[in-house]
Structure 1
Amino acid sequence: MAETSDSVQSPAKLRLDKWLWHARFFKTRGLSAKQVSGGHVRVNANKTLKPAHSVTAGDVLTFPQNDQIRVIKIVALGSRRGPAPEAQALYEDLTPPREPRAPEPARTGPRPTKKDRRDITAFKDSLEDER
């Protein structure tokens, strides 16, 4: 039996900005569209500037979020922007784990008082006057 074009289904697709919003990477769809149109999102290592770019399951997205670069593999396309556990089921996080930051060195001695700060400012001003 020969297959007709009706029985062959194309893979499901969704707009990139809408998927990013469904997966809760951005708070609003407008923010996700701005990231895409700003050239900050790559789909399968190719930069895209169109928020309407179609994505399917299996695509890999690379984009900045906060102070890190996220690498995400799309597992499923969402039909709505649901709760966080539902959104987390839409992707697999391929982002390498972050290296722990070194703690800041502890302060030695007490904080300067207001008088100390005035003296420091006066000292700096006197150095500038000498130049």
Structure 2
Amino acid sequence: MQEQVRVLVVDDQRPFRVAASAVIARMPGWSVVGVAETGEEAVSVASGLVPDLVLMDFNLPGIDGVEAAARVAASVPGVRTVLCSTYRREDIPGADKVAAYLNKEELGRAALQTLWQEIRPAA
């Protein structure tokens, strides 16, 4: 049986939300269960949707992606967050607090599948 991965995409830029959603839609077993534009919205939406994975931008209006990831983790046990940004991971304060980091330019099926294999909860 194929693993199902429910994804919440969080980014303040619509073109990136659309692009990330399109990549995920073409991945067998993966689905976008929701999108959010701000960190606060991500926290609210995640608690209702209970995604497996949150693809989270760092630079968001209001709270940043690292703070939003911490709040999502507190409200949705087991969720994994991948910080997705154009910044280098070492330039993002607190980036070590999320499960993984992916540069937006590297977003693709293979990169997401590899990251998920590394960070998914044990069965």
| TM-score normalised by L of structure 1 | 0.28
Q: Relative contact order (alpha carbons < 8 A, sep ≥ 6): 1 or 2 greater?
A: 2
Select the structure of larger CA radius of gyration: 1
More helix by share: 2
| TM-score normalised by L of structure 2 | 0.29
